[in-house]
Amino acid sequence: MTMYAILETNNNPSETIRSVLKNMLSEKLVDVVLVPFKTEYSSLPMPTLIADPEKMLQAQPLAPAAPFNAARQAASVLRYPTGKKVAVVLRPCEIRALIELAKLKQCVLDEAILIGFDCMGRIENDSYLEMAAQEEDITTSFYADSSMQDRITGICKACEYFQPYGADLTICLLGMPVMEKIGLMAGTEAGENIIKSLGLSTVEQPEGREVAANSLLQKRTEARDKLFSETSEKIKDIEKFQKTIANCLNCYNCRNACPVCYCKECVFLTDVFAHEPEVLQRRAAKRGAVKLPADTTMFHMTRLAHMSHACVGCGQCSSVCPSSIPVADIFRTVSAKVQELYNYVPGRDISESIPYLVFEEESSNGK
């Protein structure tokens, strides 16, 4: 039986999780916790590394916002072993990205306790700040009012991976009366040890969780299929693709926001694409005119070729685009086909090899 504990929330699910994280620090079950945190300067919760249990009061573990995909921040804390136990509270797409980074030797997870939660989606940063200015506790309001949940990003509405893979502990919200109680489920032996050490009473997993998960999955899958159909039409040939990305400024915000785009030296920041004036002038002479910035189509197609197997669908690339290009829609649509081809779900299993790095010998019959 999966180890499962019920936690009373008393109309404040965030406070309940803060209490669990605080006790993990107080009881020395972990040395530090990486968790979204509301600072005195902004309501937008930023990933923050907390060592003092008393500092947990401003943590926002369930906030419906993510200023960026925090997998890179988690990877920076877990870059190499330090002898310290690090608990990281991440959304499912962030955990999947972190697992991909671990496969790419960007971090090690031996000392990590991965804590995920059933993700109802995130609200864009500017909208979240507007709502936070009007709501005393936007997180509690979000989970209490389903109409607020309709304001999540379009890419979140089409995400079928709303439950975490590979988490040691999962904060269970689906199928629960969140204002009254939530669940804490262990997915590994490390997670079980924490539940036992915290002295939490365990029960059988509520049947309503699976029903609620299947209902949300159906809704998300329908939205995903619609997104794929509409986006496929927008990019079905090179002319339509170029029209869709026509307003690209070559700011590279999408590349910078992508949690799995990890190259220390990007080819687009090298001499390969730092064209000399004579090159641009020759192109203009040959074609009659050359749009600047150049190579925007090449940039997006190269990123698709490099990253489509690893896209976790967090949508941050669209969120940071100043030209409102539906970058995430394009990536999710193309990535779905690539990942299906390889039967690969990024971040599903740390032992699962990255498809591009696996070479299979031909069998004797040549297949």
Rounded CA separation 146/135 (Å):
15
The tokens describing 5, both together, are 């504990």
The tokens describing 171, both together, are 């904060």
> How remote is the C-alpha of 160 from its chain's centroid?
12
Residue the block writes with tokens 């009012």:
145
| pLDDT of the chain, 367 residues: tens digit per residue | 589 999 999 999 999 999 999 999 999 999 999 999 998 888 899 999 999 999 999 999 999 999 999 999 999 999 999 999 999 999 999 999 999 999 999 999 999 999 999 999 999 999 999 998 888 889 999 998 888 899 999 999 999 999 999 999 999 999 999 999 999 999 999 999 999 999 999 998 888 899 999 999 999 999 999 999 999 999 999 999 999 999 999 999 999 999 998 887 887 777 777 778 888 888 889 988 888 888 889 899 999 998 899 999 999 999 999 999 999 999 999 999 999 999 999 999 999 999 888 776 665 555 5
Residue the block writes with tokens 């936690």:
7
Q: H or E element: which one contains 35?
A: strand 32-37
> How remote is the C-alpha of 349 from its chain's centroid?
15
Q: What residue ranges do the domains of the chain occupy?
A: 4-223, 236-357
Q: Parallel, antiparallel, or unpaired for β 86-89 and 202-203?
A: unpaired
User: DSSP code of 279?
Assistant: H
